[in-house]
A and B are shown apart, each in its own frame.
Chain A
């Protein structure tokens, strides 16, 4: 079974600075997807960024970028120029590319990010 581990329960960052959230996962598969979701106080889950395992290039979405290390099974999220609106709980998630798992997501425990002004 696949597992996702987020070892940082809470992180803080000063506004305008950069923060990196860690995520490791365990799988025996070679084809899969990785995601970072943001859950602000409204509790609406928002997709931040997605990475296909077959792509070597790290995904980037504006101020958000990932460091995907497939051999190390590591998938960290870097937030640059942090803003107050980035304060949220962040979840790392894994999804197998195999249809036998039916698009299920495996979530990590989450990291609460606090942004200080």
Chain B
């Protein structure tokens, strides 16, 4: 099956610093990648959709200057949380798909901002 990885799985950073999370499709070329945020015991909230070589499309209410998304290749998308604050602490999940196929999810990244 299609495999998606995320790195790191857990990151702790100090308030005011930036942190980058990578999402890779390991055995397929992902034309589209999605980034979600999830709080404990809640559903996934879509933050943005990125297509390879294009600017990401952000969902309403998501600050694009704070959550920078880059989809530079067909196998890699990155999410950079800039000037992180404790309220940005959350679980971030990426998924990838190609064509009209379903999304394949990464294992997630836990971000803790101290």
A→B interface (CB under 8 Å) = 33, 35, 42-45, 47, 50, 89, 91, 95, 97, 99, 102-105, 107-110, 112
Q: Is B46 an interface residue (CB 8 A)?
A: yes
Residues of B within 8 Å of A43, CB to CB, are: 38, 91, 93, 107-108
State whether A33 touches B102 (Cβ < 8 A).
Answer: yes
Count: A-B pairs, CB below 8 Å? 47
Q: Is B70 an interface residue (CB 8 A)?
A: no
Interface flags, B78-106, vs A, CB<8A=1, else 0: 00000000000001010101001111010
Residues of A within 8 Å of B35, CB to CB, are: none
Write the nearest CB–CB distance from B38 to chain A, whole angstroms: 8
State whether A110 touches B42 (Cβ < 8 A).
Answer: yes
Q: Is B77 an interface residue (CB 8 A)?
A: no
With A45-B93, A104-B49 given, is the CB distance from A50 to B102 under 8 Å?
Answer: yes
Q: Which residue of B lies closest to A9 (CB)?
A: B41
State whether A89 touches B41 (Cβ < 8 A).
Answer: yes
Residues of A within 8 Å of B44, CB to CB, are: 45, 91, 107
Residues of B within 8 Å of A105, CB to CB, are: 34, 46, 103
Q: Is B32 an interface residue (CB 8 A)?
A: yes
Q: Which residue of B lies closest to A95 (CB)?
A: B102
Write the nearest CB–CB distance from A34 to chain B, whole angstroms: 11
